[in-house]
Amino acid sequence: METPLHWYALSAVVLFLKMFGISLYQGYCRIGRQQFKNPEDAAFVHRAPATEELPQVQRAARAWLNDVENIPIFLALGIAYVQLGLSAAAAPWLFGLFTLARIAHTLCYLAGLQPWRTVAYSVGIGSTLWMSAMILGAVL
């Protein structure tokens, strides 16, 4: 963990595992209640398709949608940060803070905890804005 590339790589792995965790959680809910929206999925367990996903599956989907709105663009900025050779001292803070904030965001979303979900979201956005400012300072 000596270089920004290592921090980038570690946070990409952790964020992937976190999102995969949501997928497992959704599968666990769907299988536990035998409730599937896709007809071919319901047919596989000899059930009628559900008209709606379970509430906790919908909630997990909203948490995941927030992930796909925030994580790929952060990682796209992160690789620019690495390639531009920006501060190695700031890298653990930027990548670490973002990653922890997104884990907290998912947990707060699944548990319905406010204002903590918004706090976690804001820390993630703050890390991304900070990284953006450093990148702009380097390229402009």
Q: For residues 34 and 114, which CB has a smaller minimum distance to a copy of itself in the complex?
A: 114
Q: Which residue has the tokens 């905890």?
A: 113
Asked if omega into 115 is within 30° of 0 (cis), the reply is yes
User: Would you count residue 38 as binding a copy of itself (CB under 8 A)?
Assistant: yes
What does the alpha-carbon distance between residue 106 and residue 89 come to, in Å, rounded to a whole number?
27
Phi, psi (degrees; rounded to nearest 5) at 38: -70, 125
User: Would you count residue 113 as binding a copy of itself (CB under 8 A)?
Assistant: yes
Contacts of 113 (CB under 8 A, 6+ apart): 107
User: Would you count residue 25 as binding a copy of itself (CB under 8 A)?
Assistant: no
22-32: b (≥16 Cβ within 10 Å) or e: beebbeebbee
Sign of the dihedral through C-alpha 64, 65, 66, 69: positive
User: Would you count residue 110 as binding a copy of itself (CB under 8 A)?
Assistant: no
Q: For residues 28 and 44, which CB has a smaller minimum distance to a copy of itself in the complex?
A: 44
User: Would you count residue 119 as binding a copy of itself (CB under 8 A)?
Assistant: no
Stretch of 8-16, 87-95, 97-105 lying at the interface with a copy of itself (CB under 8 A): 8-16
Task: Give, as ranges, the residues between 83 and 102 that touch a copy of itself (CB under 8 A).
Answer: 83-84
Residues that bind a copy of itself (CB under 8 A): 1, 5-6, 8-10, 12-13, 15-17, 19-20, 23, 38-41, 43-44, 62, 64-65, 67-69, 71-77, 79-80, 82-84, 112-115, 117, 125, 128-129, 132, 135-136, 138-140
